Amino acid sequence: MDLSILNYSAIGFLLRWGHILAGITWIGLLYYFNFVQGEYFKEADGGAKSDAIQKLVPRALWWFRWAAMFTFLTGIVMVEFYKLRGFGILTGGVLGTIMFLNVWLIIWPNQKIVIASAEKVAGGGEALPNAAAALGKAGLASRTNTLFSIPMLFLMASSRHLPGINMPITSASTIALIAVFGLIALLTFNGIKGKTGPMTSVSGVIHMGLLLTAVLYLMIELL
């Protein structure tokens, strides 16, 4: 038995397993925030909502942001370990990277303001003046991550099943590259400075995510 092959396979399996485990935790909590918690907050009374923001949300956000970190790091290692260079899977990787950055640079910093404001009010003080704006920024970035998660998962799973969209990135047409990454850039900018628009509702963000998946697939496949 060639132990070098065995060790290579074992390392690859552990990387993939860790990546999937962290990814399930991250995306699962993303969907919890968007599909469950957000809808509950719309109906909860002020006391229940305040209590959840102070006690539940920080715990969920801890797992959320560190699962995102571990997913991102194992993904980077896997790309180099397997020499993944296909157009489809690398597009999925770009979406995942943007989602990771949204977690750490937008969602978490703004949620800290929201949590601090709730704690201040619970202690008898006034709400922080920037809490409402922070909540809006975090919500928009979270909706954008939900939008991106659907094509991201589709494209990341495409490497072994859809060879047609996983040609080397150097073989892709200039038009396809501009169309795919230009669209992603526009949606990323909207996630920072724009509005939720049709993503405001749960059904809306799901439908938009499925539509974005189809559009990116067709761009990569046909352009």
The 10 Å Cβ neighbour count of residue 168 is 10
CA-atom Rg of the chain in angstroms: 20
Is the model more confident about 160 or about 98?
Answer: 98
Angle of helix 174-193 relative to helix 87-102, nearest 10 degrees, comes to 10
Task: Report the pLDDT value the prediction gives residue 123, as an integer from 0 to 100.
Answer: 83
Residues 6+ apart with CB under 8 A from 130: 113
The one-letter amino acid at 98: I
The β-bridge partners of 168 are: 86
Q: Over 80: is that where the pLDDT of 3 sits?
A: no
pLDDT digits (tens, 9 = 90+) for 39-88: 999 998 888 888 898 999 999 999 999 999 999 999 999 888 878 778 88
Q: Determine the 3-state secondary structure of 168 from DSSP.
A: strand
Q: Supply 153's token pair.
A: 């998962």
Rounded to two decimals, what is the model's pTM? 0.91
Please report the pLDDT score of residue 88 as a whole number: 86
Secondary structure class of 214 (helix, strand, coil): helix
The answer to whether 80 and 19 have CB atoms below 8 angstroms apart is no
Q: How far is CA 188 from CA 84, 133, 146, 171, in A?
A: 24, 19, 12, 25
